[in-house]
Structure 1
Amino acid sequence: MTAQLVAYEHLTAVQCLQVEAIEVLPHQLRFAGDIHGALHMLLSRPCPGVKGFALLADDVPVAFLLLKRPPALPAWADEHSATLHALQVDHRAQGKGHGKACLRALPAVAQAAWPEIRGLELSVDASNESAIGLYTRLGWVDSGEAYKGLVGYERRMGLVL
């Protein structure tokens, strides 16, 4: 199986419809939201500071994520970074390494989109141990800072490019 992270604007019409069908498990909604919210953020008010990417496995979208830069960068992020949001792997494709594939491909696509960035950042719910473990194994570093998020305490993690 081949997997590649592709900018949303480069997807075919059929692939865009397949992205709309991505679903996460109910208990994951509090961490990543749903695909409709992510696509709304991307498409409702197009902005050069928000880009969407789909992970294609054999040309079929199995995961989706958003990256943000100014003017859409969250207040907690460094101005020289891009931030990761709404990483969602379709529940029918979970457990096959697709989340890891997204994260491994992310630095290259982020730098291609915004060559000036120096790092990637994300905010993760402090209780989401599986996500924190995955990010850590792939080189992301916990900043040691926690803050009160919408659901609970959030940890900030970064990856230097």
Structure 2
Amino acid sequence: MQTRLVAYEALNAVQQQHLSALEVHPEQLPFCGDMYCALNTLLVNPSPGVKGFALLADDLPVAFLLLKRPPCLPHWADEHSATLHAFQVDRGQQGRGFGKACLQALPTAALQAWPQIKGIELSVDTDNVAAMGLYLGAGWVDCGEAYRARVGFERRLSWVFGRGSLDTQKM
């Protein structure tokens, strides 16, 4: 099966419709939100600081994510990074390597969108064991506590192009 990560604006109408029907398991909603909210963030008030990407498997969307840059960058992020948000793999497609495929394609897509960035960051709830395992297994670096969340702390993870974590770099 061929996969590729493409910008939302490159999707045709059928792909956009298919993407809008993407659903995650109910227990994942607190961590990643739903497609309605993700697409609302992307489309209702368009900003050059927000870009959406869909992972296509044989030309059908199976996953989605948002990347953000200033002025939409969260307070905990390094100004030289992009941040990952609303990462969702369709519930019927989970466990087939599509999350890993997104993470592998993400650095190239992020650099194409914003060539000046030094890395990508994300914030993940420590109770989201599956996501922590996916990110750490893919080579992301745990940079420590990002901020106090609704319950406990979120961890900040980074992917720096060709180097260690963003915290250890002079930018």
Same fold (TM over 0.5): yes
CA–CA separation in structure 1 for the residues paired with 2:155 and 2:45: 28
CA–CA separation in structure 2 for the residues paired with 1:43 and 1:30: 21
Deviation per residue, 1:104-135 (Å, 9 max, x gap): 00000000000000000000001111211111
Contact 1:67/1:83, CA 8 A, preserved across alignment: yes
Contact 2:76/2:146, CA 8 A, preserved across alignment: no
Structure 1 residues 2-151: aligned runs within 5 Å? 2-151=2-151
Identity of aligned residues (%): 65
CA–CA separation in structure 2 for the residues paired with 1:152 and 1:103: 26
2:102 match: secondary structure: helix
What is the number of residues matched between the two proteins? Answer: 161
Structural RMSD (CA): 0.9
CA–CA separation in structure 2 for the residues paired with 1:13 and 1:100: 26
Deviation, structure 1 residue 144: 1.9
Deviation, structure 1 residue 139: 1.0
For structure 1, which segment, 150-159 or 51-60, has the greater mean C-alpha deviation from structure 2 after superposition?
A: 150-159
CA–CA separation in structure 2 for the residues paired with 1:61 and 1:135: 21
Deviation, structure 1 residue 148: 1.2
Output the amino acid matched with 1:32. C
Output the amino acid matched with 1:122. L
Output the amino acid matched with 2:126. A
The equivalent of 2:153 in structure 1 is 153
Deviation per residue, 1:37-62 (Å, 9 max, x gap): 00000001000000000000000000
Deviation, structure 1 residue 146: 4.3
CA–CA separation in structure 2 for the residues paired with 1:151 and 1:113: 33
Output the amino acid matched with 2:22. I
For structure 1, which segment, 145-154 or 85-94, has the greater mean C-alpha deviation from structure 2 after superposition?
A: 145-154
TM-score under structure 1 length normalisation? 0.98
Runs of 5+ consecutive residues of structure 1 not aligned to the other structure: none
Runs of 5+ consecutive residues of structure 2 not aligned to the other structure: 162-171
CA–CA separation in structure 1 for the residues paired with 2:60 and 2:121: 27
Deviation, structure 1 residue 147: 2.1
